[in-house]
Amino acid sequence: MIKTYFYNHSEQKMHHDMDLNSLHDFLLSNEDLLWIDLFNISNEELQYIAQLFNFHPLAIEDCLHHSPRAKVDAYEDYHFFVFHALRYHEESDNEITTIELNVFVGRNYVVTIHKQPMTSIGKVAAACIQNKNYMNQGADYLLYSIIDGITDEYFPILDRISIRIDEIEDEMYEHSMELVTEEFLALKRTLILIRRVILPQKRVFANVGGRWLFDIREENMPFYIDLQDHLERIADSTETFKELVNSALDTYYSIVSAKTTENLNILTIISTIMLPLTFITGFFGMNVPLPFQHSPYTTLAIFIFLVVLSWWMGWYLRRRFIK
C-alpha cells in the first residue's frame, strides 16, 4: 500500500493520495513537502519508488532485509535512516519484538517504508489529513514527529517492566525456583533487546561537537534536543532495570542457597542422631548371648536410654548448628 501526503506551501493546503507520475511537479519548490508512506509493499512497488527518487541500491537492499541496528547513511542529496519500534506482548513466548522503519529524507520529501502497521505513523498520517502542522516545518520536523511517536511508545513498556520487577521481588519468596528463574531470564532478554534497539538509535541523534549527523533546521533543533533527552532517559532506565534484575537474581540465589544449607543441616542432624541409635540397636540385636538379655527391665532401660540420648543429641545439635 502506498499513501501520499503533500503540503503545498503557496496554497497553505494539504493534499493526499496524489498520482506519483507527477512527482517532478511536487518537488519543484523547497517550501513544499511530499511524504510517501509505503506499508507492506511488494518488491516491484519498492523498485518503482526507488527509480522515481533514484535511491541507492544498497539502501533499497537494507529495506528488503531486516537490519538489527538503527543507523543513518548520508547520500548525495538525501539521508537514509533505519529505526525500530517495539511491540510488547507480556503473555507471549516472544514477549517483545521489533518493527523496522526505513526512512529516506530529502530536501523536500520524506519516504517511510515499513512491513507492519505502526502506531506513530498512523497518528501522524491522520493528523496530516486534518491539518498542516506536521508538514509545514520541513522534512526534518516530520522525521522528528514520527520518531518522537516511536520513542513515546517505549515509556509504557518501561513502566510495565518496572512493575514486573517489583512483582517478582515479592514472588520470589513464594513461587517455585523454575517459575521465578524463568521470569528473571525473560526480563533480562527483554532489557537486552531494548538496549540493543535504543543505544544505536541514540547515536543516530547524537550531537557531537555541536554537529548533528544530518541537516536540521535551526528552529527545529530544540525538538531534537528533547528527543535526545528522551532517548537518554530510556537508556538510563534500561541500565537501572538491568542492575535491579541482576541484584534481585543474586538475592534469590542466595535465598535458595540458604534454604538448601538449612535443609542439609536438618538432614545432617537426623543422620547424626540415627547413627548411635543404629549402633546400639544393632549391638543388642546380635544373635549371641548378652548380659541381662532375659530381663524385661533391660528392654525398658535400653528404650529409655535411647530416648534420652536422642533428646540430648537433638538439643545439642540444634543449639550448635541451627541459629
Q: What pLDDT does 81 receive?
A: 92
Domains, the chain, ranges and CATH?
A: 1-136 (3.30.460.20), 153-323 (1.20.58.340)
For residues 51 and 39, is the Cβ–Cβ distance under 8 A? Answer: no
Averaged pLDDT, 198-204: 88
Proportion of the chain above pLDDT 70, given as a percent: 91
Q: What pLDDT does 208 receive?
A: 63
CA distances from 98 to 45, 83, 85 (A): 23, 10, 6
- What value, to the nearest 5°, has the Cα angle with vertex 58 and ends 206 and 201? 20
Pairing mode of beta strands 78-88, 71-74:
antiparallel
Winning range, highest mean pLDDT, from 83-92, 286-295, 297-306: 83-92
Question: Using 50, 70 and 90 to split pLDDT, how confident is the model at 80?
Answer: very high
Q: What pLDDT does 123 receive?
A: 87
The larger pLDDT score, comparing residue 263 to residue 49, is at 49
Give the separation between CA 38 and CA 15, rounded to whole angstroms.
17
Mean pLDDT, rounded, of the chain: 81
The larger pLDDT score, comparing residue 17 to residue 203, is at 203
Is the predicted pLDDT of residue 254 greater than 90, yes or no?
Answer: no
Q: What pLDDT does 262 receive?
A: 72
Is the predicted pLDDT of residue 323 greater than 60, yes or no?
Answer: no
For residues 200 and 70, is the Cβ–Cβ distance under 8 A? Answer: yes
Q: What pLDDT does 103 receive?
A: 92
Is the predicted pLDDT of residue 175 greater than 70, yes or no?
Answer: no
Averaged pLDDT, 246-269: 75
pLDDT in tens, 88-114: 887 766 778 888 999 999 888 889 998
pLDDT in tens, 110-149: 899 988 888 888 888 888 888 777 788 888 889 999 999 9
Averaged pLDDT, 41-50: 84
Q: Report which secondary-structure segment, H or E, holds 52.
A: helix 43-53
Least confident of 5-14, 43-52, 221-230: 5-14
